[in-house]
Chains A and B, each alone.
Chain A
Amino acid sequence: MGMTIIKSFTFTMSVLTAMIVQAQEGIFDEYREMMGDDNPAVFVIDEGEEYWFAPAGPKQATLAECDLGLGPGVLEGAYAYLPRYFEDAGRVMDLEARLEFCMVELQGRSREDIHAKPYSLRGDQGTEMEALAAFIVDQSSAVAVSPSQDRPEERAMYALGEELFYYRAGPHDFSCATCHEQAGMRIRLQDLANLDSHEGAAGAYTSWPAYRISEGVVRTMGWRMRDCLRQQRLPELVMGSPASVALQTYLAVNAAGAELAAPGLKR
């Protein structure tokens, strides 16, 4: 008797909770609907274009001849093939690693300068890296995610990314898998992407870089990796580092075939 009451109570509760949770998520959906195609990222894309063509660094050169993998200056579709191996650098690179390479090689800028503040802080103006990422990913819109896995270095990056995805460490014993290996889960009210499945990885990967409403800036996929590792209680991930490239390779390959729709719009 008592058990039945508890059970029906619990059931009512979970229905109620689901309704309230949906209502809260509804606010974000409504916002998204209201914005329609007006993702504030459009302004950031323009800003990124300005950076791309602006002379900078000791050499006062632009990035216009930067080779993102499809040839110098070719931007259309380029993001979709990243991360990939670059002969001139001798390693697999994600977008940020490659942009850094071009800034050093073409513009003569120092790594110190580039790493000084690649991502904006909460409430700041966006950074050059964030604007460039928005500008570049926009030119792969509707292109299928197609990271190259032809070379052994690229396959090794995927294997490493998979190992890192399950690597538990730190005081809380978290790995990416703790939060992202099951479908339909949430932390507090935030939905968690199931990133070891094609469907989950595709939904996540194709929507980054993204404009984050809560922060008012475009965030890159490298930032997303860094911020999840912060929540994992690990040290700070260096932009363009092998671990960053490996995790993004893992996600990109899992997402392969899905069409990019970035910059996305996030809560």
Chain B
Amino acid sequence: MIKKLAITLACAWASLTFADSPSEVLRASMVDKNQATLDRIEQDDVQAFCSKPRAERGDLDTMNAVRERAMAGIEHPADGVYLGDWVSGGEIANNGRGLQYSDNPADPNGGNCYACHQLDPREMAYGTLGPSLTNYGARGQSDVVVQYTWTKLWNTHAYNTCSHMPRFGAQGILTEQQLKDVMAYLLDPNSPVNQPMDAAD
């Protein structure tokens, strides 16, 4: 089935013109595979605005509009409880799988936090695309900190438009419960994120 599609595509390649947009070219160059289907190629307003090199973005009005829409779309826990279980939060932070065509859609998605952030200081396999979040809990659990962190996880563009960080809530990558668990992993004083190296060893 998929192979047939590839063949049909191949015949259309020579007729693509310079005027074709990136999304048209991608549609003509890709095939559905498992959960990764062609509709993922279409961009929403955030993606379209953020698909330019930083220097060429410029337009402040659009940027503010994108940021305000992000902020207006934040959904809060219905029960008003923001912190879940840090043990499960740690598993989510460590799990880099989810939503790739090679992943089993029956498994829960990971948050992939360690791909970009240092968190538990004992975990050496962390990435550096984002800042270190080690000892994040030192910020305390005031309303401001809790709201900021929840918002950042739900839709990072509400604060930093065109951030490289995924929109875990807004894009449905993590469930509300998973977000609460990750919140606890960051903010609970007992979480390894907030334990100095020798204390827990």
A252 at the interface (CB under 8 A from B): no
Complex CA distance for A241 and B126, rounded to whole angstroms: 34
B47 to A168, Cβ gap below 8 A?
Answer: yes
Kindly identify which residue among B22, B32, B37 contacts A167, using a CB–CB cutoff of 8 Å. Answer: B22
Kindly identify which residue among B52, B118, B196 contacts A166, using a CB–CB cutoff of 8 Å. Answer: B52
Q: Which residues of A contact B23 (CB under 8 A)?
A: 167, 169
B121 at the interface (CB under 8 A from A): yes
A178 at the interface (CB under 8 A from B): yes
Complex CA distance for A83 and B13, rounded to whole angstroms: 15
Complex CA distance for A131 and B179, rounded to whole angstroms: 46
Q: Which residues of B contact A91 (CB under 8 A)?
A: 13-14, 16
Chain A min CB distance to B129 (Å): 5
Kindly identify which residue among A14, A167, A188, A233 contacts B114, using a CB–CB cutoff of 8 Å. Answer: A188
Which chain A residues in 148-204 approach chain B with CB under 8 Å?
Answer: 152-153, 156, 160, 163-164, 166-175, 177-179, 182, 184-189, 192, 196
A237 to B129, Cβ gap below 8 A?
Answer: no
- Closest residue of chain B to A21 (Cβ to Cβ) is B124
Total number of B residues with any Cβ neighbor in A under 8 Å = 62
- With A156-B18, A235-B33, A242-B16 given, is the CB distance from A112 to B7 under 8 Å? yes
- With A112-B7, A169-B40 given, is the CB distance from A238 to B29 under 8 Å? yes
A111 to B6, Cβ gap below 8 A?
Answer: yes
B125 to A9, Cβ gap below 8 A?
Answer: no
Kindly identify which residue among B30, B53, B96 contacts A235, using a CB–CB cutoff of 8 Å. Answer: B30
- With A89-B14, A169-B42 given, is the CB distance from A116 to B26 under 8 Å? no
Kindly identify which residue among A152, A156, A171, A178 contacts B99, using a CB–CB cutoff of 8 Å. Answer: A171
15 new A-B contacts at CB < 8 Å, known A153-B18, A160-B22, A164-B26: A90-B14, A110-B7, A163-B51, A166-B52, A167-B26, A169-B42, A169-B43, A172-B166, A177-B53, A187-B116, A187-B127, A236-B33, A238-B31, A243-B25, A244-B29
Chain B residues within 8 Å of A, Cβ to Cβ? 2-4, 6-7, 9-10, 13-14, 16, 18, 22-23, 25-26, 28-33, 36-38, 40-43, 46-47, 50-53, 96, 99-102, 114-116, 118, 121, 124-129, 132, 134-135, 138, 164, 166-167, 171-173, 196-197
A-B contact pairs, 15 of them (CB 8 A): A110-B7, A152-B18, A163-B22, A166-B53, A167-B22, A168-B47, A169-B42, A172-B173, A187-B127, A235-B36, A241-B10, A242-B13, A242-B28, A244-B29, A246-B25
